[in-house]
A and B are shown apart, each in its own frame.
Chain A
Amino acid sequence: MSPLKLTGFTLTRRRSAEMAVILVLLALLLVAPTFFARISVLFFILNWIVLAESFNMFAGLTGYVNFGHVVFYGVGGYVSALLMVNAHASPYVAVIAGGLASSLLALGISLPTTRLRGAYFAIATLSINEAFFVTFDSWDAVGSAPGLSLPISYYQPVVEYYVMVVVAIACVLSMYAISKSKFGIALQAIRQQEVTANSIGINAAYYKSLALVFSGFFAGLAGALAIWQITFIDPPSAFNVTITVTSISMAMLGGLGTVIGPVIGGALLYELTDLLGLSYPFIHLIILGVIIVGVVLVIPDGILGASRRVLTKVRGRR
Chain B
Amino acid sequence: MTEPLLEVSRLAVNYGAVPVLWDISLTVNRGELVVLLGSNGAGKTTSLRSVQGVLKPKSGKVAFNSKDITALAANKVTAIGLSLVPEGRGLFATMTVEENLQLGAFSKRARKRFGENLSSVYELFPILKERKGQRAGSLSGGEQQMLAIGRGLMSDPEMLMLDEPSLGLAPIVVSKVFKVLEGLKDRGLTILLVEQNVEVSLAIADRGYLLENGKIAFEGTPDQFRANESLREAYLGL
Contacts and interface: CB of A to CB of B under 8 A. Distances in A.
Contacts of B111: 2-4
Contacts of A204: 75
Given A198-B74, A201-B75, A6 B99 contact: yes
A193 B95 CA distance: 12
A199 B78 contact: yes
A111 to B, nearest CB: 15
A198 B106 contact: no
A199 B107 contact: no
Interface string A1-32: 01111110000000000000000000000000
Contact of B86 (A3, A195, A202, A203): A195
B92 A193 contact: yes
B155 A200 contact: yes
A196 interface: yes
A201 B79 contact: yes
B146 interface: no
Interface string B89-101: 0111111101100
B91 A200 contact: no
A192 B54 contact: no
Interface of B: 52, 54, 73-79, 83-84, 86, 90-96, 98-99, 102-107, 110-111, 114-115, 118, 133, 151-152, 155
A31 B95 CA distance: 41
A200 B151 contact: yes
A186 interface: yes
Contacts of A192: 92-95
B96 A201 contact: no
A195 B91 CA distance: 11
A32 to B, nearest CB: 39
Contacts of B79: 201
B159 to A, nearest CB: 14
Contacts of A3: 102, 105, 111, 114-115, 118
B106 A200 contact: yes
A262 B32 CA distance: 53
Contact of A189 (B76, B86, B92): B92
A202 B106 contact: yes
A188 interface: yes
B133 A7 contact: yes
Given A193-B90, A200-B104, A202-B103, 20 more contacts: A2-B111, A4-B106, A4-B111, A6-B99, A7-B98, A185-B103, A189-B95, A192-B95, A193-B91, A195-B54, A195-B90, A196-B86, A196-B91, A197-B103, A200-B152, A200-B155, A201-B75, A201-B106, A201-B110, A203-B76
Contacts of A198: 54, 73-75
11 contacts: A3-B111, A7-B96, A189-B95, A198-B73, A199-B74, A199-B77, A199-B90, A200-B104, A201-B107, A201-B155, A203-B76
A189 B105 CA distance: 13
